[in-house]
């Protein structure tokens, strides 16, 4: 592990509603861990190599807690459709192409390269039902230096024949094979159980995934309460369940001892929200996707105020941009619309809160990640503002806000993940 010092203008979230800023200061990395931020470099660290980014902004790496790697090829298309139509017309046909490793290699190369050169340092990623192609994605992501959970998707019903696994048994068998090959293969990448969503997974398959989870102690990622049609469909498929989350919970795949990310949570009601809080489930808020596919606006203010684990996701390709800067802006703007048009009891979230969700909020799923505090894993992104000049002088807090609203990936000049420099 490398040890060094970065010098620059440092910003990070310590708590949910406050951004800590320190101009012309020092950020110390020791063996891949943060040792703190200092206005003057302590003598203890004077022997460490110094990387001088004076005048540049240094922030923690961002966390994308929900995205579909195989969909990156068609981002920006099909945005006039609702969720279920969009899956049938766009997502499913594209994901079927990953049966070909040649196609998977070409597509995933583009995805991983763009992920590496963006602001994201940690991610929770859906692959496809294809075990070999999912392993290939894991190989490429490991090589990139990004730290990620990546899941081979499970779906044995209510899917087109060209993408539907032949049975619960075959889905479970292929999943076990993939888990055994990948569980201890990598330093930075880990497998995560990935039932696509309840409509595409039979009860028999969910029971088998429960057994797999218990045997290998895997985390879980899936979707929940995204769209009205989807929620109604789950009610028909699972008549014994009072709400969507119970369709996961009855199989032991909804938090508690099982680290769980549930994307969207747009239509979650009181009982579901209470269970999410009780079990420590992470709600991955995907505002751009929810807008693009007309799913709605998640009550993120309520989730934050009630103490749920909340994070952000780009949800490529329901979302058209992989930028978590963009996700922060979208989260703030969507909450303003919900406040103004539907529920004035839920105040809009603020930019400091959105920054927290993008860093420490998602980072906590990986452990001590997302803050520049002693003992946290050292993920950092360095940003050059020369593309957004102004004759005005701004505070460092204002500079960060401008970066979030105006930045593009080309503004990132260097990136570190767990102390390792990626570029």
Per residue in 362-371, pLDDT (tens digit) is 999 999 999 9
Strands 4-15, 412-417: pairing kind: unpaired
The arithmetic mean of pLDDT across residues 72-80, rounded, is 95
Residue 86 has pLDDT above 90, yes or no: yes
Return the closest-CA partner of residue 303 out of 327, 321, 282: 282
**Mean pLDDT in the chain?**
97
Give the pLDDT confidence score for residue 410 in this predicted structure: 79
The arithmetic mean of pLDDT across residues 325-336, rounded, is 98
**Residues 385-400: pLDDT tens digits?**
999 999 999 999 999 9
Q: Where are the alpha helices (DSSP H) in 28-160?
A: 83-86, 92-96, 101-116, 131-144
Residue with tokens 């204002």: 398
**Residues 51-70: pLDDT tens digits?**
999 999 999 999 999 999 99
How many CB atoms are closer than 10 A to CB 341? 9
d(CA 413, CA 423): 8
Domain range annotation of the chain: 4-60+371-421, 62-366
Give the pLDDT confidence score for residue 169 in this predicted structure: 98
Query: From residue 154, how far is each of 81, 131, 206, 260 by CA, in Å?
Result: 24, 10, 9, 16
The correct answer on CATH 3.20.20.140 for the domain covering 62-366 is yes
Q: pLDDT band at 407, cuts 50/70/90? A: confident
296, 267 contact by CB (below 8 A): yes
Q: pLDDT band at 409, cuts 50/70/90? A: confident
Assigned token pair, 222: 């899936």
Give the rounded percent of residues in the chain with a pLDDT score beyond 70: 100
Give the CATH number of domain 4-60+371-421.
2.30.40.10
**Residues 227-252: pLDDT tens digits?**
999 999 999 999 999 999 999 999 99
The arithmetic mean of pLDDT across residues 338-345, rounded, is 94
How many CB atoms are closer than 10 A to CB 226? 28
Give the rounded percent of residues in the chain with a pLDDT score beyond 90: 98
Q: 3-state secondary structure string, 13-63?
A: EEECCEEEEEEEEEEEEECCEEEEEECCCCHHHCCCCEEEEEEEEEEECEE
Give the pLDDT confidence score for residue 357 in this predicted structure: 98
């Amino acid at each position: 592990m490398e040890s060094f010092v970065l010098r620059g203008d440092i910003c990070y979230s310590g708590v949910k509603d406050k951004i800590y800023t320190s101009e012309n200061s020092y950020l110390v990395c020791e063996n891949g861990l943060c040792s703190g931020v200092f206005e003057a470099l302590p003598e203890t660290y004077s022997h460490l190599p110094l990387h001088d980014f004076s005048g540049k902004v240094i922030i923690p790496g961002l966390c994308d807690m929900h995205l579909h790697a195989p969909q990156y090829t068609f981002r920006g298309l099909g945005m006039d459709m609702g969720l279920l139509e969009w899956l049938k017309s766009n997502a499913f046909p594209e994901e079927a192409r990953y049966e070909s490793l040649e196609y998977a290699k070409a597509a995933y190369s583009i995805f991983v390269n763009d992920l590496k050169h963006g602001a994201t340092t940690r991610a929770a990623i859906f692959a496809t039902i294809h075990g070999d192609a999912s392993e290939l994605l894991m190989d490429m992501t490991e090589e990139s230096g990004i730290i990620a959970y990546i899941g081979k998707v499970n779906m044995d019903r209510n899917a087109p024949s060209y993408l539907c696994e032949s049975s619960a048994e075959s889905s479970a068998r292929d999943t076990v094979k993939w888990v055994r090959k990948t569980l201890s293969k990598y330093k930075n990448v880990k497998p995560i159980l990935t039932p696509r969503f309840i409509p595409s997974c039979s009860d028999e398959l969910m029971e088998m995934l429960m057994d797999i989870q218990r045997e290998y102690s895997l985390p879980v990622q899936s979707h929940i309460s995204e769209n009205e049609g989807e929620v109604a469909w789950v009610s028909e498929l699972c008549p014994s369940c009072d709400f969507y989350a119970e369709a996961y919970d009855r199989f032991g795949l909804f938090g508690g001892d099982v680290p769980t990310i549930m994307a969207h949570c747009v239509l979650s009601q009181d009982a579901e929200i209470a269970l999410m809080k009780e079990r420590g489930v992470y709600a991955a808020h995907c505002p751009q996707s929810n807008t693009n596919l007309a799913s709605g606006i998640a009550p993120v203010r309520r989730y934050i105020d009630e103490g749920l684990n909340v994070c952000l996701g780009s949800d490529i390709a329901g979302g058209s941009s992989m930028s978590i800067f963009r996700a922060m802006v979208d989260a703030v703007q969507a909450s303003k619309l919900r406040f103004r048009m539907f529920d004035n009891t839920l105040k809009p979230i603020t930019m400091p809160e959105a920054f927290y969700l993008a860093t420490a909020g998602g980072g906590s799923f990986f452990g001590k990640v997302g803050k520049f505090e002693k003992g946290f894993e050292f993920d950092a992104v360095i940003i050059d503002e020369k593309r957004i000049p102004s004759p005005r002088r701004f505070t460092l807090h204002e500079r960060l806000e401008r970066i979030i609203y105006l930045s593009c990936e080309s503004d990132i000049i260097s990136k570190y993940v767990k102390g390792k420099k990626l570029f």
